[in-house]
Structure 1
Amino acid sequence: MAKVWIADKMSERAIEIFRARGVEVDYRPGLSDEEKLAIAGDYDGIAVRSSTTLKGALLDAAKRVKVIGRAGIGVDNIDVETCSRRGIVVMNTPFGNTITTAELAVAHIIAAARQIPQATASTRAGRWEKSRFMGMELTGKKAGVIGAGNIGAIVCDRLKGLHMGVYVYDPFISDERAAAMGVTKVATVAELAAMVDVLTIHVPLLPATRNLVDAQILASMKKGSIVVNCARGGIVNEDALYEACKSGHLRAAALDVFEHEPVREHPLFELENVSFTPHIGASTDEAQENVAVQIAEQMSQYLLAGAVSNAVNVPSLTEKEKRQLAPYLLLASRMGSFIGQTMRPGYSRLSLQFEGHAATVNRKPLVNAVLQGLLSRSMEEVNEVNAGMLARERGIELVETACEHSDNFSTLIRLQVEGDEGSRCVSGTLFDEKRPRLVSFDTCGIEVAPAGNLIFLQNEDRPGVIAAIGSILASADINIGDFRLGRREDVRNAVALIQVDSVPDEQVLAQLSELPNMLMVRFAELGEL
């Protein structure tokens, strides 16, 4: 039975779902570092929020783990690169707290515009300073939204409800998408900042977004404007924000996040026109239950059925897609494995062409399956998660093309690998949409099931070669189950694929290599179908 450790406080609904799905679960939040290290190796999956940091020694101790689930969006507390290299799927729940976080951003905008936190403190202190708290009406003003993803799109919708003009900077949305959202797309952050009365941020913290809103951007904003950050600390330069608020250039700022958390002291705390919350964007009962339920369902589906949802380091694949793609995944893996065993490592370029029906399916898992099959014969611990990363680290160029037309087959995958040994090409198809077959090798048309023990030969097309091959195999008591031949008419070479009932040893392969007119001898073990 798969076993999961819930390492942080989480809704009890997560426990119920794991158990209902048949997954053993231990709910053990709040452990010391030593206690975490002692138990991490006992689990197939670990579910966390933001308190537990899965990096360094703790991640190293989790020898058995296959999947890590983050009940929330950000995965800053997880070493995703190391997980990918080790083949651990890292999942998050990008939709569970989107509404909650968007609503907090809008609340901060309204509170900053009307100075609600400051007015609350003044009134509680017994002062009735009605004239002091002159606010800014939002209707008719311009709002700038950096990032129009899951959360940003909801913020745009809510701000439109306040009758604000909404402008967006997001290089990843099309003009058509912006038009459908009813917002105006702007080309740069600088252009957006200079035109709006309110600027709110909804992008992840990446090298490209760190200090995205810096002193220059803040200085370009209208005097009396507002900045809100409910995304990630470090996107708004806090020193620059302090100066802009202290000088009165900005009317107000509101932060739910800081570059270094938790924060106990900060220069911004001195300023009355800046308000704060302690990273509570996802802190509602509804959101916490949503993310707990989602991560438990996602992790269970992966551990029990191999289905991948909302993973940050591997293409998502539903259980239905996995069933539909199963024949393709087997074909792709066997094609990669065949070349990985018949071509020496030192690969520089890999070309994948999908034709016919193969061009219409979810191809990313198929690419990973090819890479996994190719690299697994020369590297340890290669899987669908880390295959792409390992290929990139070794400088293997990947070229992928797709065409819904195919000349001879309803569906076809063509794989060509170039490297130190030259180039090798294999093509595969599905018979009856479910039976994988290899149908060409280095331009020779040969049809064979990608299974069993295969001896792969290239020779000059001369009489006597087949008889000599049969004699050597018979002398070694190796029975031939199938013998397929093909010709390369352009160079008068022949290709043979021989399925044998037992594995030939190195002496037999050497004898085959020493035959007159023999150009190449390789062997591949492809397993059962």
Structure 2
Amino acid sequence: MAPKVLVSDKLSETAVQIFRDRGIDVDFMPELGKDKEKLAEVIGNYDGLAIRSATKVTEKLLESATNLKVVGRAGIGTDNVDKVAASKKGVIVMNTPFGNMVTTAEHAIAMMFAVARQIPEASASTHAGKWEKSKFMGVELTNKTLGVIGAGNIGGIVCRRARGLEMKVNAYDPFLSEDRANELGVRKVELEELLEKSDFITLHVPLIEATKNILSRENLAKTKKGVRIINCARGGLVDEVALAELLKSGHVAGAGFDVFAEEPATENPLFNLPNVVCTPHLGAATTEAQENVALQVAEQMSDYLMTGAVTNALNMPSVTAEEAKVMGPWLKLAEHLGAFTGQLTDEPIKAVNILYDGGVAEMNLEALNCAVIAGMMKTVNPDVNLVSAPLIAADRGIKVSRTTQPKTGTFDAYIKLTVVTETRERSIAGTVFSDGKPRFIQIKGINIDAEVGQHMLYTTNKDTSGIIGTLGQTLGENGANIANFTLGRTEVGGDAIALLYLDEALPNATREKLAETGLFQSICPLEFAVS
């Protein structure tokens, strides 16, 4: 019997035809996604569900989805899908992360032109029968300096388009390599320099803890007088209240915003200010982008349902069912190793070397490589998955290599990850014990035995007395409970490390108190997805 797919949102007829051409029985009901009760009644009849944003795939809906195997989201955002519940049900969640990159980049460029020439205001004035030619004096983009915060997929396209407009482009992105910067024709700079020298600033980063409020009141105050700011990425990257004040004072000459901290945005501090262009989250709203993502999701879902091939899955590795039984814990370990280095590395990564020792060297190394890179890249891009991770790494100029070797040493198998930057190499190794739990077994060449927890603290110091007492006392006095405590050193008086498993995330204030002791070379809170 042919697989059955329900299309419950508005996809193009061409996309629907792809399902039919691939031998899939498809029902096209584009309004059904808005009726959650009716959708719940029929969802049990389908193997696949193709959606946009109107359909909400909740835990309750999934309870009725007795035959569902895959949900395909035409677009990048999957906030309308309960991915945890889907994973528990064994339902794959796919998206199409690369279908609207050009469209979003073009919208940012369009916003720059609109703000530079005050086009919306001038248009409204002219429509009103006024002829205020002298009122709308603009500026050229040519020879202006554009600061691009985030030079990944979309940001990279913006860099290229801006260079075509003969702009000087500075890019701030901790994961941007010099080779990639040269390829894009941009200067790689620190955020401080970008703020001080940019005539225009455009943001192209996801909203994560590291980027939240990246243009804070403090950072906005550091910008060049007359700067124009564009945000077509995510709401919450800019302090909108502070920006509104700087627009009123004249320090900021204009702004173009497609996204807002709260959406739908019916009111906002930026609304009704002169030379502020606002659009209702239109970054992906072009005919071409909507068609591209629809065609992509139809192809991906058809591939999976007809051949078992998995593409752009957010909650499943690219491995067979047989492999998954054995590889599951190793995939999790690989992700933890990547997450460890990703959270500690604050400069561009040039190369990643992965050593597979013993039995793990016989597994699906492509999937394990992807898990390492995905764990590492999630610190800057939470939407990365096992399939998109290699593409994102390659796009940033990161060279990934792997080595295999027969069993050596104590463990039957282990994975060792080495990350290379301009100034240093950082390595970490781990294994999976017989209980199926990943463990860290070596950091910086220092042997340890550390259980992986959701909240951890990593410190480095010179081997000296008082470290254990200071850690225990400072954490205890500030309400941080230690679940596990692992120490290691190279030699007496040499380099030493500590890795602590905490019950809760370490507050910044506690980290500052540890720093005040002067005993530690580095103090790094870490977070791991252990569920």
TM-score class, shorter-chain normalisation, is 0.5 to 0.7
Q: What SS class does the counterpart of residue 269 from structure 1 fall into?
A: coil
- Aligned twin of 1:122: 125
* Alpha-carbon distance, 1:331 to partner: 6.6
- Aligned twin of 2:48: 45
* Alpha-carbon distance, 1:119 to partner: 0.5
- Aligned twin of 2:357: 353
Q: 1:254 to 1:421 in 2, by over 3 A?
A: closer
**In 1, are the aligned partners of 2:207 and 2:237 still within 8 Å (CA)?**
yes
CA distance in structure 1 between the aligned counterparts of 2:187 and 2:323, rounded to whole angstroms:
46
Q: Give the alignment partner of residue 74 of structure 1, picking from 77, 96, 120.
A: 77
Q: What is the correspondence of 1:22-421 to structure 2 with a 5 Å cutoff? A: 22-30=23-31, 31-188=34-191, 190-315=192-317, 317=318, 330=322, 333=325, 353=357, 358=362, 361-364=365-368, 403-406=403-406, 417-418=432-433
* Alpha-carbon distance, 1:131 to partner: 0.6
Q: 1:61 to 1:203 in 2, by over 3 A?
A: farther
* Alpha-carbon distance, 1:414 to partner: 7.4
Q: Which amino acid aligns with 1:93?
A: T
Q: What SS class does the counterpart of residue 104 from structure 2 fall into?
A: helix
* Alpha-carbon distance, 1:33 to partner: 2.8
Q: Which moved more, 1:92-101 or 1:46-55?
A: 46-55
- Aligned twin of 2:21: 20
**In 2, are the aligned partners of 1:359 and 1:402 still within 8 Å (CA)?**
no
CA distance in structure 2 between the aligned counterparts of 1:46 and 1:311, rounded to whole angstroms:
14
CA distance in structure 2 between the aligned counterparts of 1:367 and 1:133, rounded to whole angstroms:
52
**In 1, are the aligned partners of 2:151 and 2:176 still within 8 Å (CA)?**
yes
The percent identity for this pair of structures is 50
Q: Deviations over 1:186-210 (max 9, x none)?
A: 233x442222111111122233333
Structure showing greater Rg: 1
Gap runs ≥5 in structure 2: 330-354, 373-384, 387-400, 416-430, 439-531
Q: Deviations over 1:448-472 (max 9, x none)?
A: xxxxxxxxxxxxxxxxxxxxxxxxx
CA distance in structure 2 between the aligned counterparts of 1:232 and 1:332, rounded to whole angstroms:
35
* Alpha-carbon distance, 1:7 to partner: 2.2
- Aligned twin of 1:377: none
* Alpha-carbon distance, 1:37 to partner: 2.8
Q: 1:238 to 1:41 in 2, by over 3 A?
A: farther
Q: 1:367 to 1:199 in 2, by over 3 A?
A: closer
**In 1, are the aligned partners of 2:357 and 2:405 still within 8 Å (CA)?**
no
* Alpha-carbon distance, 1:60 to partner: 4.1
* Alpha-carbon distance, 1:211 to partner: 2.1
- Residues paired across the two proteins, number: 366
**In 2, are the aligned partners of 1:72 and 1:94 still within 8 Å (CA)?**
yes
CA distance in structure 2 between the aligned counterparts of 1:335 and 1:94, rounded to whole angstroms:
26
Q: What SS class does the counterpart of residue 270 from structure 2 fall into?
A: helix
Q: Which amino acid aligns with 2:7?
A: I
CA distance in structure 2 between the aligned counterparts of 1:219 and 1:124, rounded to whole angstroms:
36
* Alpha-carbon distance, 1:419 to partner: 5.3
* Alpha-carbon distance, 1:165 to partner: 1.0
**In 2, are the aligned partners of 1:145 and 1:169 still within 8 Å (CA)?**
yes
CA distance in structure 2 between the aligned counterparts of 1:233 and 1:294, rounded to whole angstroms:
27
CA distance in structure 1 between the aligned counterparts of 2:328 and 2:59, rounded to whole angstroms:
33
Q: Which amino acid aligns with 1:168?
A: A
Q: What is the correspondence of 1:478-497 to structure 2 with a 5 Å cutoff? A: none
Q: Which amino acid aligns with 2:61?
A: L
CA distance in structure 2 between the aligned counterparts of 1:359 and 1:421, rounded to whole angstroms:
16
Q: Which amino acid aligns with 1:206?
A: I
Please tell me whether residue 9 in structure 1 is matched to residue 13 in structure 2. Answer: no
**In 2, are the aligned partners of 1:147 and 1:201 still within 8 Å (CA)?**
yes
Q: Which amino acid aligns with 1:15?
A: V
Q: What SS class does the counterpart of residue 75 from structure 1 fall into?
A: coil
Instruction: Please report the TM-score for the alignment, with normalisation by the length of structure 2.
Output: 0.62
* Alpha-carbon distance, 1:332 to partner: 7.4
Q: 1:183 to 1:24 in 2, by over 3 A?
A: same
Q: Which amino acid aligns with 2:357?
A: Q
* Alpha-carbon distance, 1:298 to partner: 0.6
**In 2, are the aligned partners of 1:359 and 1:404 still within 8 Å (CA)?**
no
Q: What SS class does the counterpart of residue 90 from structure 1 fall into?
A: strand
* Alpha-carbon distance, 1:361 to partner: 4.3
CA distance in structure 2 between the aligned counterparts of 1:422 and 1:295, rounded to whole angstroms:
35
CA distance in structure 2 between the aligned counterparts of 1:32 and 1:122, rounded to whole angstroms:
43
**In 1, are the aligned partners of 2:48 and 2:70 still within 8 Å (CA)?**
yes
Q: What SS class does the counterpart of residue 141 from structure 2 fall into?
A: coil
Q: What is the correspondence of 1:424-439 to structure 2 with a 5 Å cutoff? A: none
Q: What SS class does the counterpart of residue 241 from structure 1 fall into?
A: helix
Q: What SS class does the counterpart of residue 267 from structure 1 fall into?
A: coil
Q: Which amino acid aligns with 2:60?
A: A
Q: Which amino acid aligns with 1:69?
A: G
CA distance in structure 2 between the aligned counterparts of 1:143 and 1:26, rounded to whole angstroms:
47
CA distance in structure 1 between the aligned counterparts of 2:145 and 2:224, rounded to whole angstroms:
11
* Alpha-carbon distance, 1:59 to partner: 4.0
**In 2, are the aligned partners of 1:355 and 1:403 still within 8 Å (CA)?**
no
Q: Which amino acid aligns with 2:19?
A: F
* Alpha-carbon distance, 1:163 to partner: 0.8
- Give the alignment's Cα RMSD to 1 decimal: 3.4
* Alpha-carbon distance, 1:76 to partner: 2.5
Q: Deviations over 1:354-406 (max 9, x none)?
A: 689858941428989xxxxxxxxxxxxxxxx99xxxxxxxxxxxxxx963444
Q: 1:4 to 1:260 in 2, by over 3 A?
A: farther
Q: Deviations over 1:205-237 (max 9, x none)?
A: 233333222222222111111111111222223
CA distance in structure 2 between the aligned counterparts of 1:335 and 1:47, rounded to whole angstroms:
29
Q: Which amino acid aligns with 1:283?
A: A
**In 2, are the aligned partners of 1:209 and 1:235 still within 8 Å (CA)?**
yes
**In 2, are the aligned partners of 1:212 and 1:235 still within 8 Å (CA)?**
yes
* Alpha-carbon distance, 1:178 to partner: 1.4
CA distance in structure 2 between the aligned counterparts of 1:421 and 1:43, rounded to whole angstroms:
34
CA distance in structure 1 between the aligned counterparts of 2:74 and 2:278, rounded to whole angstroms:
23
Q: Which amino acid aligns with 2:10?
A: K
**In 2, are the aligned partners of 1:256 and 1:278 still within 8 Å (CA)?**
yes
**In 1, are the aligned partners of 2:240 and 2:269 still within 8 Å (CA)?**
no
